[in-house]
Chains A and B, each alone.
Chain A
Amino acid sequence: MLPLSIKDDEYKPAKFNLLAKISGWFKSILSDTTSRNLFFFLCLNLSFAFVELSYGIWSNSLGLISDSFHMFFDCTALLAGLAASVISRWRSNDSFSYGYVRAEVLAGFVNGLFLIFTAFFIFSEGVERALEPPHVNHDRLLPVSVAGLLVNLVGIFVFQHGGHGHSHGHGHSHSLFNGSTGHGHSHGGHGHESKHGDGHNGHSHGDGHGHSHGGHGHSHDDPHCHGETTPGVFLHIVADTLGSVGVIISAILMQKYDLMIADPICSMCISILIGVSVVPLLRESIGILMQRTPPSLDNALPECYQRVQQLQGVYNLQEPHFWTLCTDVYIGTLKLLIAPDADGKWILSQTHNIFTQAGIRQLYVQIEVAAM
């Protein structure tokens, strides 16, 4: 038997494959605007963090080092988002019959978690410092926070349009997030440092997670999701910017008016803001992960059920389950009990039509015929 295809993958040396894979990832990242932006922003943040780390080690400033750790932490969030964008474009296979599109939702969730933890840490540090105000060293404070602010502004400018290059279809989820970014917040970098007696902060925690990905143009059967997590990136960056601003303000207050209490108060306010603004993001991603019925369909579904039950021959609609795979991709299953003399084919196609109109394209209808 002649082989119909020759798989010479196994004969390639492993190293070569790795390079090919990595270059494949790069291509994938650079192909899409948002992920490209995210990638460059990540690089910017990473380099800033490295600079801070090396400067801190060289000048033996524990505060700078701890701050660079914080930046690295944020870079991981950005990295997670980037990874999610690459991963969600992978083709589906036997282990993941729906493909990898959930990666974005996961990245959004993990990012939300990180933000909550960060807010919590900053709050606790603020409280600590309020109780025992340490001496804050101002020297390096201002320049670093200004630099951080600049980096954040770059981020805002870049991600300003939410990066929804192509995602126009799902106005709702975006507007929810963009609306809530109004009051952004940032985990003010002043998180730690001062604690170690070295002031310095304001680093941009760029972050972000996930971002809208390609979506269209595929010819295979994977569902396309549109920019589920770009709002999250924007949120994060605005948060950071405001944090930097807050730090600068408190630094000025401390220098001019010697108001030491400004720092911890700033931290606490900022952490509360972070917490509050992350809540919608978390709610949405948790809802998706819990297989919740899509909130946008909350009104449409009962109507659909009614219409289906009014079809001729349908006795009962049982066990409807509808859930979101990723933004705007809804999947549903249900069981219909029909009369023995009803036209199953017609009922099936009508049901599909009804639900397609509601936006559910993947539907599984199990039709059972009632006994006489």
Chain B
Amino acid sequence: MFRNDSEKTQLVTEKGTMYSITMESVSTDGIMQKEKDSNIKHCHDNSQATEDREREKQLARKRLYVVSAVCLVFMIGEILGGYFAGSLAVMTDAAHLLVDFASFIISLVSLWLSSRPATRTLSYGWHRAEILGALLSVVTIWLVTGVLVYLAVQRLISDNYEIEGTIMLITSGCAVLANIIMAFTLHQSGHGHSHGGLSSGHGHSHSTNDKSKHGHSHKSSHSHSNGNQENHSHGNGDVEQHNGVDGQQQKSAGSRPQANASVRAAFVHVVGDLLQSISVLVSAIIIFFKPEYKIADPICTFLFSMFVLGTTITIMRDILLVLMEGTPAGVKHGEVRDRLLAVKGVKSVHSLHIWALTMNQTVLSAHVAIDDIVDAQPVLREMTQTCFSNYNFHSVTLQLEQQADQKPGCSLCEDPKM
């Protein structure tokens, strides 16, 4: 941030005396700022998290808008088509698209909510709204799948249903197409490349990997706009804006940016719908060629419902990790502890808690016991520096205590057991 300021200062001084007043004020500001910098390192100097988050959210928002539009168009088309063709199957599919649309709206709303400024009661801001929205989305997927399974069971038992092969075929074909378009939008935004400055490496299976179903090596959309790169050139990178990245030093072994939760939830919805549409397509093909095998319909529904539930597993795991105040996937508790211990003057670290506000916003707090003879402030500064340069934390709070004050038998000071 202050890099830009100094650029500005340069420009203004070059313009000469015409701007003498501004120049003065700017240059004094510049001087003051430099002084400030050398004496007090502001605790947020190193935090890239907020800017990264802004970028992440903007990207997520764009994607969700596009996808909602596509969904709406297809849904209206299907409703009209179903109405004129008088087909129940088409209407059911339109209903499914409606649920998808609802989940996109949920994602957008939760994204909007999470941009709201912090208040006194929500001191961290509304970040968690994103996670709760994603949870709601996933629960809706379960519900819809449950309803479909229920209907399929009903069909199996009552056995009085009529299936029109042709219409089903056409509808499911359209649905599959729509879902593929949406999946692409949410998953990929273009180019995968390795950014300069970072050693190549690549393709780590992203921590949020969901290998199976759709042959990408990593699931969902991650807008990584963050700085903490350690080599990733993901094959399908939706590595959009890397502007911030180039100047960044390589953050070693640190957190890999995770996908934005809202977009991931929307993606999981779309994948689920894609699977359902494929199941309808498969059974439509079977029924088209062999109308007596209409039992294929419920059976396909069962089968693919299982798959859909499977796709929700990874995102649920990550959501639960955040809501349970767990250590985020990219950060290792032991590693952070070791790094803190490595700082000169630090004797022990206890009550170290690392948790996430939302996918890429991590918060750290710890009690640190330092040597009695060492001056606290430089140690504090160094530890904060270590934290921020290796990981992309949202905020770090370190309580420094004297080594002499430690109680050796205190159970609360023990490390969490493996």
Chain A residues near B (Cβ < 8 Å): 57, 60, 62, 65-66, 69, 73, 91-100, 102-103, 106, 110, 113, 117, 219-221, 286, 289-293, 295, 298, 319-323, 325, 333-335, 344-345, 348, 362-371
Q: Is B334 engaged at the interface, CB distance under 8 Å to the other chain?
A: yes
- The CA-CA distance from A97 to B416 in the complex, in Å, is 6
- The CA-CA distance from A339 to B398 in the complex, in Å, is 18
Partner pick for A113 among B139, B153, B321, B332, CB 8 A cutoff: B139
Q: Is B323 engaged at the interface, CB distance under 8 Å to the other chain?
A: yes
Q: Which residues of B contact A368 (CB under 8 A)?
A: 40, 43, 377, 380
Residue of A nearest to B415 (CB): A94
A-B contact pairs, 12 of them (CB 8 A): A62-B158, A95-B321, A97-B352, A220-B411, A289-B323, A323-B124, A334-B397, A344-B376, A365-B397, A370-B40, A371-B39, A371-B40
Cβ of A286 and Cβ of B132 under 8 Å apart? yes
Chain B residues near A (Cβ < 8 Å): 39-40, 43, 120-124, 126, 128-129, 131-132, 136, 139, 143, 146, 150, 153-154, 157-158, 320-321, 323-327, 332-334, 351-355, 357, 365-367, 376-377, 380, 395, 397-402, 405, 411-414, 416-418
Q: Which residues of A contact B333 (CB under 8 A)?
A: 94-95, 97
- The CA-CA distance from A23 to B144 in the complex, in Å, is 34
Residue of A nearest to B384 (CB): A366
- The CA-CA distance from A159 to B121 in the complex, in Å, is 33
Cβ of A290 and Cβ of B123 under 8 Å apart? no
Q: Which residues of B contact A219 (CB under 8 A)?
A: 411
Cβ of B143 and Cβ of A69 under 8 Å apart? no
Cβ of B398 and Cβ of A366 under 8 Å apart? yes
What is the distance, in angstroms, from B341's C-beta to the closest C-beta of chain A?
Answer: 15
Q: Which residues of A contact B417 (CB under 8 A)?
A: 91-93, 220
Q: Which residues of A contact B411 (CB under 8 A)?
A: 219-221
User: Taking A62-B158, A91-B417, A98-B355 as contacts, is the C-beta distance between A290 and B128 under 8 angstroms?
Assistant: yes
Q: Which residues of A contact B332 (CB under 8 A)?
A: 94
What is the distance, in angstroms, from B245's C-beta to the closest C-beta of chain A?
Answer: 28
Residue of B nearest to A352 (CB): B399
Partner pick for B414 among A66, A96, A221, CB 8 A cutoff: A221
- The CA-CA distance from A348 to B351 in the complex, in Å, is 16
What is the distance, in angstroms, from B150's C-beta to the closest C-beta of chain A?
Answer: 6
Q: Which residues of A contact B399 (CB under 8 A)?
A: 348, 363-367
- The CA-CA distance from A333 to B43 in the complex, in Å, is 14
- The CA-CA distance from A93 to B411 in the complex, in Å, is 14
Partner pick for B150 among A66, A103, A363, CB 8 A cutoff: A66
What is the distance, in angstroms, from A305's C-beta to the closest C-beta of chain B?
Answer: 11
Partner pick for B357 among A113, A291, A363, A364, CB 8 A cutoff: A291
What is the distance, in angstroms, from B162's C-beta to the closest C-beta of chain A?
Answer: 18
Q: Which residues of A contact B367 (CB under 8 A)?
A: 364
What is the distance, in angstroms, from B322's C-beta to the closest C-beta of chain A?
Answer: 9
